[in-house]
A and B are shown apart, each in its own frame.
Chain A
């Protein structure tokens, strides 16, 4: 069962991300955290197949993508309209895809399907 880590500080947006991804075909396990720091605590504990993160900071992206142990986990940045520059930096750091809020749930699922397939 694919395991997805969702990092998002807004509870509303978090539950929206979760509910969108729960509708993926086949069961997925979703772990929700509210911050990059929480994510750092989860990363060594279990293996993830996908990380979906907001863009309040680039620390998590840079950490995941520069760390041999996590580098291969696909990472999606969910950003707001105004934060193109941070998003571009995130892509530069190695993020695999991005999604702009507000998003269509299906668009998120498309990205997730593509990245999860590639990982297998």
Chain B
């Protein structure tokens, strides 16, 4: 912790710091949300939540100190102070203080974003100062009271209570609980098991405030413990409940008689910070106790920089390509009678290699997969906060949080998803009185469902709000000149206007939904990941936004196609079917090429026209590859199907770098790079062109 000379090194140290600090922040955000829920529900602050926040702030301070990020460590120190005051009852928990905590944690988030950028970090100093100055009035000390005079407790016990333990004692006295001292002897060799048992039994009936070892006249082989307990049970009831041989229960202070005060549920895990408490016991006891197990699970996990996994994935990709090249060689060997036997042996080996490579590939992919849970937790915290701020009654349902996606995709998904959910909360769900007037349930519902569909994951956000106002949408689009006033748009085409840049159907720009960021950004963000977004909406009933994303970006199966004298790779996960057609089956109307696919018109795009290819000749009987992304269907016309192959898509440098419709290049093992088609862009363009037509 006091590692000298640990001056902030290169980027690697920064990244390590940020990644660890992010984890701590994540914990803090969660605990704070729970805490403000407690407060919102009018309940007492769960002491364990405050403790957990305090510990997190402490870790953050120590971590930032270790890496010498003084502004961060300074702010964390302040936060720790405030939380310590809260924890010890010096400061009362009230909404403004929760607001301050919220702001401070948010500021940490932006400070972490500035790590490595010294100038930006020091610019934030003013903000830090402002925050730390503002907290003083929020943390005016609570009235100190000495209620211990009424306790029938030996001074030696009172002397040995920590400040926190005193605070818990005071708190329980205030609530009118009985305070009892439970005294029991233990064999010194095995006292931890016995003590864990006793503490466990006591915790079921109340709160263990302190556990003190006491010397005395006990035998040398024994040790006595005094446990100070706050409970709603009378001493007689408590004695009966704990059933512990040799335990003596003595009342230190009688609680209020009559109905028991509505004490909040005892924290599941006892406070761990002040040791000599049950939590410490738990850590020492041999029995499997949740806290112990959670520690173990941490040690089984390794944190890895995602870039290392990218490197690993690239290596696997190269191997996959090499394997392809070996396959070609074998085919050539098999073609000659004198080498045919060798080729057969080779084939066997090649197959075994192939199998192992596939296993390796999926193992590496597996490592990159993370459940959506974290993102969803983030979303639900934001919903809880907004619900409070907007004063709306909304229930959030989340299903499919275990659905897994590539880490990079999950990260890039946060913003678009958040945007869609905010929109639903802010614009779609009507205020309670309006809902009542509409005979809707007063509490609005937003649901998020995630599920896998083939090689894609679909995340669907539904609300039961007012639905999209088509007339307003259309009006706004006409105003912006996106649609001609006389253009006939289908239902779907009208709804798709919400993805047009600059459209916002509600006049005012609200804080919640952000300024000027619209669904067009959501669409382009998702398109960058190879995903699409679809919308469905029923006026008065609600809206459903479905985001479809590929499971991974790393290695994909591609269909290799020939177009004139060129080859292209088409990601197979979006290919629905391939057909060989007669050119006369293509109908051209209003400048659009259509194919009648089992009764439904399929919009076609000719790849050679798309990229202005003129070399070589078109095939007599072209092939149509039916692409499906989300709910959209488009047929790509190519000349030949050359086969299927694993491909690692690499970004292209140079002149075609930004060519729309191309997402990268891949090497098929024959030294001839092949361009990979960006299907999201192609499909989008095709549909846009249709709308414009």
Contacts and interface: CB of A to CB of B under 8 A. Distances in A.
Given A56-B275, A57-B277, A102 B160 contact: no
B134 to A, nearest CB: 20
B274 A56 contact: yes
Interface residues of B, number: 34
Interface string B297-310: 00000000000000
B276 interface: yes
Contacts of A12: 1
B284 A38 contact: yes
B223 to A, nearest CB: 6
Contact of B274 (A57, A89, A101): A57
A61 B275 CA distance: 12
With most chain A CB atoms within 10 A of its CB, the pick from B156, B213, B281 is B213
A75 to B, nearest CB: 14
Contacts of A69: 215
A37 B160 contact: no
20 contacts: A12-B1, A16-B2, A35-B275, A35-B280, A35-B284, A36-B213, A36-B276, A37-B192, A40-B191, A41-B189, A54-B275, A55-B162, A56-B275, A56-B276, A57-B165, A57-B211, A57-B276, A60-B276, A89-B160, A101-B1
Contact of A63 (B192, B215, B284): B215
Interface string A30-65: 000011111011001000000000111111111100
Contacts of B192: 37, 41
A83 B54 CA distance: 13
B162 A58 contact: yes
Contacts of A36: 213, 275-276, 280
Interface in B647-674: none
Contact of A44 (B195, B214, B220): B220
From DSSP, what is the main secondary structure of chain B's interface residues? Answer: mixed
Given A40-B223, A82-B80, A82-B81, A9 B1 contact: no
B163 interface: yes
A1 interface: no
Nearest to A62: B160
Interface string A83-95: 1011001001100
Contacts of B274: 56-57
B161 interface: yes
Nearest to A59: B276
Contacts of A63: 212-215
Contact of A41 (B81, B188, B210, B212): B188
Contacts of A85: 163
B283 interface: yes
Given A56-B280, A82-B81, A83-B163, A66 B2 contact: no
Contacts of B406: none
A86 B284 CA distance: 23
Given A57-B165, A92-B159, 14 more contacts: A36-B213, A36-B275, A37-B191, A56-B276, A58-B161, A58-B212, A59-B211, A63-B214, A68-B215, A85-B163, A86-B163, A89-B160, A102-B2, A103-B2
A93 B159 contact: yes
A56 B160 contact: no
Interface in B113-158: 156
A44 B186 CA distance: 14
B280 A93 contact: no
Interface string B154-188: 00100111110100000000000000000000001
A24 interface: no
B163 A16 contact: no
Given A44-B220, A93-B159, A59 B284 contact: no
A100 to B, nearest CB: 12
B43 interface: no
A41 B193 CA distance: 12
A82 B162 contact: no
B283 A34 contact: yes
A11 to B, nearest CB: 10
B84 interface: yes
Interface in A5-39: 9-10, 12-13, 16, 34-38
Contacts of B211: 57, 59
Interface in A86-119: 86, 89, 92-93, 101-103
Q: Please provide the 6 A-B residue pairs with the shortest distance between their CB atoms, ordered closest to farther.
A: A57-B276, A56-B275, A67-B215, A59-B276, A62-B160, A63-B213
